[in-house]
A and B are shown apart, each in its own frame.
Chain A
Amino acid sequence: MSDSGAVSTGGGQPGAAQGQAQIPAPPKMVKVFVDGTEVQTDSRDNLIEAARRIGVAIPYFCYHPRLSIAGQCRMCLVETSDAPGRLVPGCQVRVKEGLKIVTTSPAVKDNQRGCMEFHLINHPVDCAICDQSGECKLQDYYMEYDHQPSRIRVHKLNKPKREIFGPQVVYDAERCIMCTRCVRFMDEIAKEPQLAVVDRGTHSLIATFPGQPLDSQYSGNTVDICPVGALLNRDFRFQSRVWFVNKSPTVCTGCSNGCNVYAESRGEVIYRLLPRRNEEVNQVWMCDEGRLTYHASNEKRVEWARTGRGDTAASVGPRIAVDRAVELLKPLAGQGGIGIAVSAQCTNEEAAAAFQLGAQVGASRYFLGSRPQGNSDDFLIRADKNPNTSGILLVAEAFGVKLEVANGIDRVKALVAMRTDGLPAEKLARLEVFIAIAQNEDAATAEADVTLPCKSVYEQDGSLINWYGRLQRTWESVPAQRADSAAGWSWAERILTGLGGSGPKSAAAAFRTLAEKSAELSGLSFDQLPEDGIVLEALLPRDWPARAPRPLPGAHSVRGPQTTPPGMKVGDEASGGSR
């Protein structure tokens, strides 16, 4: 920990310098009664969290487990034995020994109903055109706690609608219930106070400062935590109704942080990425750039397997394309002129299969292609914009391969590229043979003799290793098959078979082969990897960005493979998710 001492709950991490580890004190447990049921709860819990431990839902809009307490919405008022005859906010009041909490008394129910009625006074009749419909707390709570017609007979207040806050966020003041979660998020988590409450009373609204748009790299999170449809993501807006998309866990490919996300897709199209809870990687947040990475999975894809460059290019189907690749490689195999290029965008399995192919053809050189470095900060954004640089290096080491920079490809006659990121296009034209296993059309695929469409990371089973050595699974999160596309390891396997060798028949098999060769991965297999990944301790760095989430000593992911502990569901709001 570079800024040691200042962090109270951070603690050190295994592999870090000795003497800096701070192990948090075990929680002090107290006994409270929620609606007569005894609950053992952490003494730091508020009433909402205590009740949640036994599945009693106290409704709230403004409370968020990761933000400061505002007490804005008044939805969480409950009765306690400490203040008989009064209602107290469940978000603000902490538990104490023997406290009796009542969540179902007439006074509590009446307050919830009244709160809902007030929250809806100025709410427009927007459900039909609102993106939040289907995941909106107003809808949920209305049916749960109010379900009655409004008694308000005055006109609704008109407020600004469709106000562009920034590149990712659009604001609708009429839908806003002034919970101030977004304001607090920008202040406390993003540390860029770009939002504020302006005006008073019923006229109050959220606004940016004049001339200063909401351009924080974390602005998308305000949309996630907005309990209503006031803040909407401009990228997702009007693209799909939320109940049509299939939500599936995966890992963001935007940078080497490897934020855990959900991909929401229908058919072969991904509609948005949402953060998935993982305390040791991204907590419940993700950056705006990461949210947009799914576009590469939708747009400008290599759809069909083809042979030939330029005008002679023809879609010939996967089998003939693979045959052609074999035909081109066979005379050169063992001659020493073949290079293998692997991108840092590849999964470990794709890289392993590429190196297997390299061994089969007697490749003389191996290259690492990657996207250029980018901006970074001390929280979630890493400068390395490739999700699996650590993984590729580890796989290369396991296969005993020495990686060179991609600029050196003019030293080989033939090149097989497992993904084409960072390959110098001008040098590709001079290659005698260039076989590209590529996800997107780019300058490199234009020069390829054989182009094989590669599935995106969101579409295939695989594993990635993030910047600090966390091994995380990816899945076939997008259910539909896109054209001829197949995972990179699958193309490598088909070429290997054509050359008389053999390759992995599945991602799990590819990983198994890799695990046999790698000291760090030995003993691991796909079915042992928990959904939130495990830490390869040997890879842990010494220096950590100040606010980057990290595995704490004793975190279950560090000790080795095991399943998520009971009672804690990954990505579950119950333990403080983003929604």
Chain B
Amino acid sequence: MTESGLPDTDPLALEAEIPTSPMTVHLGPSHPAMHGTLRLTVTLDGETIVESIPEIGFLHRGFSKSSENSTWHQVLPYTDRLNYVSPILNNTGYIMGVEKLIGLKPTERAEYLRVLGGEISRICDHLTCIGAIGLELGAFTTFLYAMEARELLWDRIAELCGARVTVSWTRIGGVASDMPPGWEQHLRDCLPRVLELTNEIDTLLTRNRIFVDRTRGVGVISGDEAIDWGFTGPCLRATGVNYDVRKAHPYSVYDRMDFEIPLGTRGDTYDRYVLRLEEIRQSHRIVLQCLDQMPPGPIIIDDWRYALPPKKEVFGSIEGVMAHFKLIMEGIHVPAGEVYVYTEGANGELGFHIVSNGKGKPYAIQVRGPGLPILSALPRLIKGHAVADLIPIFDSINMIGGEVEQ
């Protein structure tokens, strides 16, 4: 009641300026939207993010130090756990580094198998990212579609490698296992379904008013600034910078593949999402080309200094058992030297800096996980946005705890 006795009908009375003070809240490390385990200390002015500090370390495994105490092959399972959504890409990156130190070339079929497995992994990685971004904006269906597609592919990976996620599949000089009988057909049968589900997600999200409103113009970064931060991969290409290691510095058999590098224009959350959608289609093309072009032949080199002898030789000949024994107990001998090997991981340039002192174990290994520089730009990306926008932005950079923290 007002002084005049009339009811208060002033519509702006409740919109009056409320005095606020900054509030600090913690997001994570065990928050469902903080993929992996990340803690964000966010300072808010009302709903607006003023400042944020990402804190990593909850998934730290001591990758570098553990690697120094393992034989060259024993490092391989640790690389599975870098970007655990696309482990074959990490396996390949590491093994390529060791092979470069030795000066070893894997067999041609192994090269194709690595690219094949790697691109399937890339599809899985991107599916996870776009499924999650939809999920956390309320589109649960897209997440289920993405998971269905990813399950199809992970089943194929399980058939190929024996494990869904922790595959440890590559070997120095080749890969661990060939395509099992009938596997190629399995893959050819399930790929259309994967593509169909991808298109379904496309239909549901890409022109969805709510989704577009929540993502377009959110978390914008320019190409130059992204380069300054050290962005690579989809997050960089979403800004329009054309850098993909597979094209810029082709490795393995990528130079024989016909595929395109999709580019964004604005560098916002929406572009990062669309770009991944398109990359799924491009990876799909590469997978099919691999299947078509793959030559028959051995999947691993026949050099017992580096590759385990066939089991028949191990159990039946002294030469085989000695080679097996030495490889398992002491590890292969990698010439002293130092290399940096970089490949296109699912999130960008995955670099391995490997130092050997000529012994059976690495002297040092450091990893350039593509996620770390991108994550370090997160405060810059979310500054000034509402808390609700943090989630899609964070989703779109696709932080994977394993590779950020190692």
From B303, B318, B325, A123 is in contact (CB under 8 Å) with: B318
Asked if residues A139 and B326 are in contact (CB atoms below 8 Å), the reply is: yes
Q: Contacts A134-B329, A147-B303, A147-B305 hold; do A142 and B316 have CB atoms under 8 A apart?
A: no
Asked if residues B329 and A243 are in contact (CB atoms below 8 Å), the reply is: yes
Chain B, Cβ-Cβ closest to A124: B318
6 A–B contacts from the bound complex (CB under 8 Å): A125-B317, A125-B318, A127-B325, A139-B326, A140-B326, A150-B317
Q: Which residues of B contact A124 (CB under 8 A)?
A: 318
Q: Does B313 contact A (CB under 8 A)?
A: yes
Q: Which residues of A contact B320 (CB under 8 A)?
A: 149
* Cα–Cα, bound, A201→B115 (Å): 54
* Cα–Cα, bound, A134→B325 (Å): 8
* Cα–Cα, bound, A126→B325 (Å): 11
Q: Which residues of A come within 8 Å of B, CB atoms? A: 120, 123-128, 133-134, 138-140, 142-143, 146-150, 243
Asked if residues A148 and B325 are in contact (CB atoms below 8 Å), the reply is: no
From A128, A149, A243, B317 is in contact (CB under 8 Å) with: A149
Asked if residues B304 and A148 are in contact (CB atoms below 8 Å), the reply is: yes
Main secondary structure of the interface of A (DSSP, over half): loop
Q: Which residues of A contact B325 (CB under 8 A)?
A: 127, 133-134, 139
Q: Does B33 contact A (CB under 8 A)?
A: no
Asked if residues A149 and B313 are in contact (CB atoms below 8 Å), the reply is: yes
Asked if residues A138 and B319 are in contact (CB atoms below 8 Å), the reply is: no
Asked if residues B317 and A143 are in contact (CB atoms below 8 Å), the reply is: no
* Cα–Cα, bound, A20→B224 (Å): 87
Which one of A123, A124, A126, A142 has the greatest number of beta carbons of chain B within 10 Å?
A142
Asked if residues B316 and A147 are in contact (CB atoms below 8 Å), the reply is: no
Q: Does B346 contact A (CB under 8 A)?
A: no
A129 to B: closest C-beta gap in Å: 11
Asked if residues A143 and B323 are in contact (CB atoms below 8 Å), the reply is: yes
* Cα–Cα, bound, A148→B318 (Å): 11
B330 to A: closest C-beta gap in Å: 8
Q: Which residues of B contact A143 (CB under 8 A)?
A: 304-305, 322-323, 326
Asked if residues A120 and B304 are in contact (CB atoms below 8 Å), the reply is: no
Q: Which residues of B contact A142 (CB under 8 A)?
A: 319, 322-323, 326
Q: Does B321 contact A (CB under 8 A)?
A: yes
* Cα–Cα, bound, A142→B316 (Å): 16
* Cα–Cα, bound, A125→B319 (Å): 8
Q: Which residues of A contact B183 (CB under 8 A)?
A: none
* Cα–Cα, bound, A150→B321 (Å): 12
Q: Does B315 contact A (CB under 8 A)?
A: yes
B58 to A: closest C-beta gap in Å: 35
Further 17 A-B residue pairs, CB within 8 A, beyond A125-B318, A128-B321, A149-B317: A120-B318, A124-B318, A125-B315, A125-B317, A127-B325, A138-B322, A139-B322, A142-B319, A142-B322, A143-B305, A143-B326, A147-B323, A148-B304, A149-B319, A150-B317, A150-B318, A150-B319
A161 to B: closest C-beta gap in Å: 15
Q: Which residues of B contact A150 (CB under 8 A)?
A: 317-319
B319 to A: closest C-beta gap in Å: 5
B173 to A: closest C-beta gap in Å: 13
A167 to B: closest C-beta gap in Å: 30
B53 to A: closest C-beta gap in Å: 45
B318 to A: closest C-beta gap in Å: 5
Interface size on B, residues (CB 8 A): 17
B51 to A: closest C-beta gap in Å: 52
Q: Which residues of A contact B315 (CB under 8 A)?
A: 125
Chain B, Cβ-Cβ closest to A241: B329
Q: Which residues of B contact A149 (CB under 8 A)?
A: 304, 309, 313, 317, 319-320
Chain A, Cβ-Cβ closest to B321: A127
Q: Contacts A143-B305, A147-B305 hold; do A120 and B329 have CB atoms under 8 A apart?
A: no
Q: Which residues of B contact A134 (CB under 8 A)?
A: 325, 329
Asked if residues A127 and B317 are in contact (CB atoms below 8 Å), the reply is: no
B64 to A: closest C-beta gap in Å: 25
* Cα–Cα, bound, A123→B315 (Å): 14
A122 to B: closest C-beta gap in Å: 9
Q: Which residues of B contact A127 (CB under 8 A)?
A: 318, 321-322, 325
Contact bitstring B314-340, A, C-beta under 8 A = 1, else 0:
011111111101100100000000000
Chain B, Cβ-Cβ closest to A117: B319
Q: Which 7 A-B pairs have the closest CB atoms?
A: A143-B326, A123-B318, A147-B304, A147-B305, A127-B321, A142-B322, A139-B322
* Cα–Cα, bound, A143→B360 (Å): 13
Which one of B303, B318, B329 has the greatest number of beta carbons of chain A within 10 Å?
B318
* Cα–Cα, bound, A125→B323 (Å): 12
Contact bitstring B343-368, A, C-beta under 8 A = 1, else 0:
00000000000000000000000000
* Cα–Cα, bound, A149→B324 (Å): 12
Asked if residues A120 and B319 are in contact (CB atoms below 8 Å), the reply is: yes
* Cα–Cα, bound, A138→B326 (Å): 11
A544 to B: closest C-beta gap in Å: 44
Q: Which of B283-325 contact A (CB under 8 A)?
A: 303-305, 309, 313, 315-323, 325
Asked if residues B319 and A146 are in contact (CB atoms below 8 Å), the reply is: yes
* Cα–Cα, bound, A139→B319 (Å): 9
* Cα–Cα, bound, A146→B325 (Å): 15
B320 to A: closest C-beta gap in Å: 7
* Cα–Cα, bound, A125→B320 (Å): 9
Chain B, Cβ-Cβ closest to A126: B318
Asked if residues A148 and B322 are in contact (CB atoms below 8 Å), the reply is: no
Q: Which residues of A contact B313 (CB under 8 A)?
A: 149
* Cα–Cα, bound, A57→B326 (Å): 19
Q: Which residues of B contact A139 (CB under 8 A)?
A: 322, 325-326
Contact bitstring B82-111, A, C-beta under 8 A = 1, else 0:
000000000000000000000000000000
* Cα–Cα, bound, A255→B319 (Å): 43
B317 to A: closest C-beta gap in Å: 6
Q: Which residues of A contact B303 (CB under 8 A)?
A: 147
Which one of B322, B323, B329 has the greatest number of beta carbons of chain A within 10 Å?
B322
Chain A, Cβ-Cβ closest to B304: A147
A115 to B: closest C-beta gap in Å: 14
Chain B, Cβ-Cβ closest to A150: B319
A188 to B: closest C-beta gap in Å: 31
* Cα–Cα, bound, A120→B132 (Å): 59
Chain B, Cβ-Cβ closest to A243: B329
* Cα–Cα, bound, A8→B22 (Å): 92
Chain A, Cβ-Cβ closest to B309: A149
* Cα–Cα, bound, A308→B305 (Å): 63
A215 to B: closest C-beta gap in Å: 32
Q: Which residues of A contact B304 (CB under 8 A)?
A: 143, 147-149
A447 to B: closest C-beta gap in Å: 50
Q: Which residues of B contact A147 (CB under 8 A)?
A: 303-305, 323
* Cα–Cα, bound, A503→B315 (Å): 61
Q: Which residues of A contact B305 (CB under 8 A)?
A: 143, 147
* Cα–Cα, bound, A128→B315 (Å): 10
Chain A, Cβ-Cβ closest to B332: A143
* Cα–Cα, bound, A134→B319 (Å): 15
Chain B, Cβ-Cβ closest to A138: B322
Q: Which residues of B contact A126 (CB under 8 A)?
A: 318
A368 to B: closest C-beta gap in Å: 49
Q: Which residues of A contact B329 (CB under 8 A)?
A: 134, 243
Q: Which residues of B contact A123 (CB under 8 A)?
A: 318
Chain A, Cβ-Cβ closest to B333: A143
Q: Which residues of B contact A146 (CB under 8 A)?
A: 319
A57 to B: closest C-beta gap in Å: 13
* Cα–Cα, bound, A42→B382 (Å): 74
* Cα–Cα, bound, A149→B313 (Å): 8
B279 to A: closest C-beta gap in Å: 42
B133 to A: closest C-beta gap in Å: 51
Asked if residues A125 and B326 are in contact (CB atoms below 8 Å), the reply is: no
* Cα–Cα, bound, A138→B318 (Å): 10
A374 to B: closest C-beta gap in Å: 41
B322 to A: closest C-beta gap in Å: 5
* Cα–Cα, bound, A150→B304 (Å): 12
Which one of A124, A125, A128, A134 has the greatest number of beta carbons of chain B within 10 Å?
A125
B303 to A: closest C-beta gap in Å: 7
Chain A, Cβ-Cβ closest to B327: A143
Which one of B303, B319, B321 has the greatest number of beta carbons of chain A within 10 Å?
B319
